[in-house]
Amino acid sequence: MNLVLEEKVALVTGAGRGIGRQIALTLAECGADVILNYHGSKEAAKETEKAVKEFGRRAFLYPCDVSDSDAVKKMIEESTKEFGKIDILVNNAGITRDNLLMRMSEEEFDAVMDINLKGTFHCIRHIARQMIRQKSGRIISISSVSGVLGNAGQANYCASKAGIIGLTKSAAREFASRGITVNAVAPGFIDTEMTAVLSKEVQEDILNRIPMKQFGRVEDIAQMVAFLASDAARYITGQVISVDGGMAM
């Protein structure tokens, strides 16, 4: 299997911490230079930058709110100027604002849609032109098992993650003849700050719903992303790959 990403340039959103950080490190380990987008976590992003450089790869830190279309456009233009190209886009940035539907405010709904779904849309839209020009590209977006199955208390989050699936399949159809593959990874429950805030009872309830009876690790997601970014996945597009210990089977 050829997972080598030497001479590839990847842009990872939300790369300072959690799953995004590990995706950046795994891509760097496979040989890619990495543009590390972050929003609030500057110190964490600097740590990721240091770790990428330890693999002997180039790293470029770029602060930007992915829900801001103009800022995303500028990030992609300036990153392309810095590296000459971007081969791999990983849409990882995401937030939760959990609440029961009857109590959910419009602000809670919009905040999640703006970052998770519109942020992914902005990144894909602004990077597509140069990928079409270079006749190659890999776009990988992080959806969720919640977007596949739905989840009580997460109507906004599930809608955004299901939206990423529709966006992925549509983009895959539009770009398939241009040498660009577009896929999504749907993680189950992964041990990060996002899941650490859940109460012990909720965590136990989730554990009971996972056939493999364990939470996933950030490495489980990062390795799937690296595979989809590699030549080994050249004939795969428009797919949603579940990495969830069997939750969504």
Residue pair 112/166 in contact (Cβ under 8 Å)? The answer is no
Residue pair 95/116 in contact (Cβ under 8 Å)? The answer is yes
Verify binding: residue 193, ligand NAP, rule CB under 6 A: yes
Greatest CA separation found in the chain? 51
Residues 13-32 that bind ligand NAP (CB under 6 A): 13-14, 16-20
Distance (Å, whole) CA 213 – CA 44: 30
Binding mask 39-58 for ligand NAP (x = CB under 6 A): xxx-----------------
| Closer residue to ligand NAP (CB): 92 or 230 | 92
| Closer residue to ligand NAP (CB): 136 or 151 | 151
- The nearest distance, CB 133 to ligand NAP, in angstroms, is 25
Verify binding: residue 190, ligand NAP, rule CB under 6 A: yes
| Closer residue to ligand NAP (CB): 32 or 224 | 224
DSSP per-residue letters across 184-214: EEEE-SBSSHHHHTS-HHHHHHHHHH-TT-S
Verify binding: residue 122, ligand NAP, rule CB under 6 A: no
E-assigned strands of the chain?
Answer: 9-12, 33-38, 59-63, 88-91, 137-142, 180-187, 240-243
| Closer residue to ligand NAP (CB): 99 or 195 | 195
Verify binding: residue 92, ligand NAP, rule CB under 6 A: yes
Verify binding: residue 107, ligand NAP, rule CB under 6 A: no
Verify binding: residue 150, ligand NAP, rule CB under 6 A: no
Alpha helices (runs of H) in 117-179, residue ranges in sequence order:
119-134, 145-149, 155-175
Residue pair 59/68 in contact (Cβ under 8 Å)? The answer is no
32, 35, 115, 128: residue in contact with ligand NAP (rule CB under 6 A): 115
Closest CA to 39 of 72, 78, 82: 72
Residue 157 known to be catalytic: yes
- The nearest distance, CB 91 to ligand NAP, in angstroms, is 8
Report the Cα 230 to chain-centroid distance in Å.
16
- The nearest distance, CB 235 to ligand NAP, in angstroms, is 25
Verify binding: residue 62, ligand NAP, rule CB under 6 A: no
Verify binding: residue 94, ligand NAP, rule CB under 6 A: yes
Tokens, residue 113: 């849609």
| Closer residue to ligand NAP (CB): 18 or 137 | 18
CB neighbour class for 200 (10 Å; exposed up to 12, middle 13-18, buried from 19): exposed
Helix (H, G, I), strand (E, B) or coil at 31: coil
| Closer residue to ligand NAP (CB): 109 or 189 | 189
Q: Which residues are catalytic?
A: 157
- Write out the residues near ligand NAP by the rule CB under 6 A: 13-14, 16-20, 37-41, 65-67, 92-95, 115, 142, 144, 187, 189-190, 192-195
